[in-house]
Structure 1
Amino acid sequence: MAAFAKLPATAKTQPTPFTASTPESELNEFKELLKLSKVGKETYESTQKDRKYGITSDWLAEAKAQWEKFDWRKVEDEINSFPNYTAKVKESGDTFDIHFAALFSERTDATPIIMLHGWPGSFLEFLPILKLLKGKYTPQTLPYHIIVPSLPGYAYSSPPPLHRDFRLENCAEIVDNLMVGLGFGDGYVVQGGDVGSMVGRVLGALQPRARAVHLNFCVVPDPGDDVPAADVDEAERAGLLRGQAFLRLATSYAFQHATKPSTVGLALSASPLSLLAWIGEKFLDWTDEDPPLDTILASVTLYWFTGCYPTSLWPYRRLFGPGAGAGIHENPAWRIDGKPLGYSWFPKELAPTPRAWVATTGNLVFSRQHRSGGHFAAMERPEVLLQDVEDFVAQVWPRPEA
């Protein structure tokens, strides 16, 4: 048995080992489609180097050239260097095949932690953290079970059903049922960013087994007079201005996802280069520093080969669709009371929320402010996010006396 692949004795189901392996015929088709894809004509807007109107023609042309030489098999090798599985999980009468990467500990007192991604991310974001843990611990010493699923509709997991709407609560139930099946019915810790933070918040509010929640994305309504101005420091005030600018100038994609997901889903499924332009822009704009191009290409290639872009848009109806309310404010009913809430603040997040604001949404017992990092914290600052999670778990998950 491979290292870190031994499930706990309490597991109720036996997931199926999974190997990422794209058929050669699909690789060849992708290469041909990419070769035939054209970069559009230059315009005034597409030549602005500050990208204030979106990605530049030059960037897309250079990215295409590098993508044509990109080795997807190396990414698959990286994925397959960790234990991967699929598990059948039931929710509302339907059965989903949920993919997840994992590191299982052989310690009987290991803390179960599930780490949840968002859009346009995937489980790939957390592979640097898994690599750090593999280097730091052995299966016998790892203090945690780390579960990193592909959310429904993303990557290798089943899409949402065709016959009914699918919401954050449905996703949260699937995540909870997955953890119960893996043997963690007594409780687990949730970590999440972007959509994963919202699923994590629902878990914390509605599922008793989600015993602690750590977030690195937490958009909440302005609490007004409930939080004195003195409780928000200079860096956090700058973060609020960043969030206001994002809402005003950079949420058009989200309204498209929410109001016309069928149109944009079908359109971007027709051309890999179009998908790269749409998703690549977010990786450039939502990070503290531009990621390596190969990192962006790996994520977009995963979306392309799994065909998951159209099926990944379901969360946006809840946040930006008709009846969703103004902005991206979370449901105030999703308070995390009676259990610990942790928060990591990164300055180049889309909407860096002050600690005092986050504290109005639950029992905030841990928070840490960082000087660098953006929306994809697990990918951008894996050492930092991992340390925060380890410190949070040490604080909120007591271990039995040796």
Structure 2
Amino acid sequence: MSLHDFGTLPPGVSTPAPTPFTINIPKTQQERLANLINDAEIAAPSFYNTHTDATDVSTSVGVSRDWLVNAREVWAGRDSNNTSEGRYSWEEEQKKFNRYPQFTADVNVEHTTGEKTEKETFHLHFAALFSRSPTATPILLLHGWPGAWFEFAPALDRLAAQYTPETLPYHVVVPSLPDFGFSTREGVSERELSRELAAAALDGLMKGLGLGDGYVVQGGDLGAIIGPLVAAQSEGCKALHVNFSFLTPEQRESVAKFTVKPEEQALVARAAVWGGRGRAYATMHSTRPSTIALVLGTNPLAMLAWMGEKFQEWSDSRYPVPLNTVLSVVSYYWYTNSFGRAIWAYSPNGTIFPSVPSTKPFGYSSYPSEIMALPRSWAEKLFPTLVLYKQHDKGGHFAALEQPELFLQDLEEFIALI
């Protein structure tokens, strides 16, 4: 069975219907990137770039020169140390991505925050597995930074293997977040995007698909910031599940008084170390978004170092994210020219994080190598609508990518409970 058998749009889709989409990066762009990779300089060895381990959050001072040299060889299509995965090829990765049904849809949004009303037209890209069952539950899966919609590909593969279009109990919609990848909007260089407007656009996408009444939103990283906003703003979103959680200032003040159980101490300690050593990139994104985007946009290896560090440091080093996957993520940002568009969520105007809605069921999955901590003892006190908390012994920040089986088990259990 082909994954495209799951590509039949739901019967309630609005007019005009979403347009089928195929990723097709022109050969000229691929050749241009290949030349830039080959021509790029890598800085000479120094004490710091030869004495760092980006997989250890407690000691890392950034990505190592050896890692970057090896990654460049692989990205250029040479064998290097990547023989277990085969030589990297964007053409082959593109074929894998195009196995999934993908679409683009225009979403017009008018959203009011306080006395301010914003209007925007979004051109959203998304992948999906649609069910033909009339009782299927819609699910909206939201990725983060540095990530992309295909973080969820392993989970989609498992669903397609387990179900048929007739038996799939879910409509699974996986958008490229607004201003990420192939998702764009009118006036992108004229107006800053707000989190609230992005959340409204994603809700508008679900409504346009005829799935806006009774859907579940799930997210990690930025998806765990936008997800609560979707749940709070949309009557049609009935529940929220995340695998990453920012706390509001009031909540952080509260947890400072909570007692942490011994088995939760490692989670809290890791988050404390990351908070002191790992947040430099976020400060840069927030205070100098123009500079960092322009700098990284000049050199693909610079972008690889900046983003590759996160995949090493934020994931479970016992089960590392494959290098080919990291290269595909960076290639995707490069080909779509979306790095500068995609750091809007770090804006100084959006430094306060939304709380989980107090009226809707909430689920949380905890992984040991996550960079932020939400121990069970905190979650049970902070969130009265908590219906599921799962603690795992493996996995990290990129949960759906690193541990898709556990990720899906939790999500399906959460949906069954609600």
TM-score interval, smaller chain:
over 0.9
Given residue 279 of structure 1, which amino acid in structure 2 is its aligned partner? M
Q: 1:201 aligns with which of 222, 228, 231?
A: 228
Match of 1:367 in 2: 389
The TM-score with structure 1 as length reference comes to 0.92
Count residues with an aligned counterpart: 385
After superposition, the C-alpha distances for 1:182-213 in whole angstroms (9 at most, x for unaligned) are: 00132200000000011111112221111000
Residues 382 and 121 (structure 1), Cα distance of their counterparts in 2 relative to 1, 3 Å cut: same
Report the alpha carbon displacement of residue 345 of structure 1 after superposing the two structures with TM.
0.6
Match of 2:48 in 1: 45
Structure-to-structure mapping, 1:174-323, within 5 angstroms: 174-220=201-247, 221-224=251-254, 228-229=258-259, 232-289=260-317, 290-317=320-347, 321=348
Greater Cα shift, 173-182 or 7-16:
7-16
- SS where residue 214 of structure 1 aligns? strand
Distance 1:388 1:353 in 2: 16
Match of 2:414 in 1: 392
Q: 2:25 aligns with which of 19, 22, 30?
A: 22
Match of 1:32 in 2: 35
Structure-to-structure mapping, 1:91-130, within 5 angstroms: 91-92=109-110, 93-130=119-156
Instruction: Decide whether the 8 Å contact of 1:204 with 1:211 is kept in 2.
Output: yes
Report the alpha carbon displacement of residue 323 of structure 1 after superposing the two structures with TM.
8.2
The TM-score with structure 2 as length reference comes to 0.89
After superposition, the C-alpha distances for 1:240-277 in whole angstroms (9 at most, x for unaligned) are: 11111111111010000000000100110111111001
Distance 1:36 1:71 in 2: 18
Match of 1:72 in 2: 90
Q: Quick one: percent identity of the two aligned structures?
A: 40
- SS where residue 5 of structure 2 aligns? coil
Distance 1:23 1:98 in 2: 21
Given residue 250 of structure 1, which amino acid in structure 2 is its aligned partner? G
Q: 2:173 aligns with which of 140, 143, 147?
A: 147
Residues 251 and 226 (structure 1), Cα distance of their counterparts in 2 relative to 1, 3 Å cut: closer
Given residue 5 of structure 1, which amino acid in structure 2 is its aligned partner? G
In the alignment, structure 2 segments of 5+ residues that lack a partner are 55-59, 78-87, 111-118
Given residue 254 of structure 2, which amino acid in structure 1 is its aligned partner? G
Instruction: Decide whether the 8 Å contact of 2:370 with 2:397 is kept in 1.
Output: yes
Query: Over the residues paired in the alignment, what is the CA RMSD in angstroms?
Result: 1.7
Match of 1:380 in 2: 402
Instruction: Decide whether the 8 Å contact of 2:315 with 2:402 is kept in 1.
Output: yes
- SS where residue 74 of structure 2 aligns? helix
Given residue 277 of structure 1, which amino acid in structure 2 is its aligned partner? A
Report the alpha carbon displacement of residue 101 of structure 1 after superposing the two structures with TM.
0.4
In the alignment, structure 1 segments of 5+ residues that lack a partner are 397-402
Instruction: Decide whether the 8 Å contact of 2:225 with 2:246 is kept in 1.
Output: no
Report the alpha carbon displacement of residue 95 of structure 1 after superposing the two structures with TM.
1.4
After superposition, the C-alpha distances for 1:9-40 in whole angstroms (9 at most, x for unaligned) are: 11114100000110011011111111100111
- SS where residue 54 of structure 1 aligns? coil
Instruction: Decide whether the 8 Å contact of 1:223 with 1:357 is kept in 2.
Output: no
Residues 97 and 225 (structure 1), Cα distance of their counterparts in 2 relative to 1, 3 Å cut: closer
Given residue 23 of structure 1, which amino acid in structure 2 is its aligned partner? P
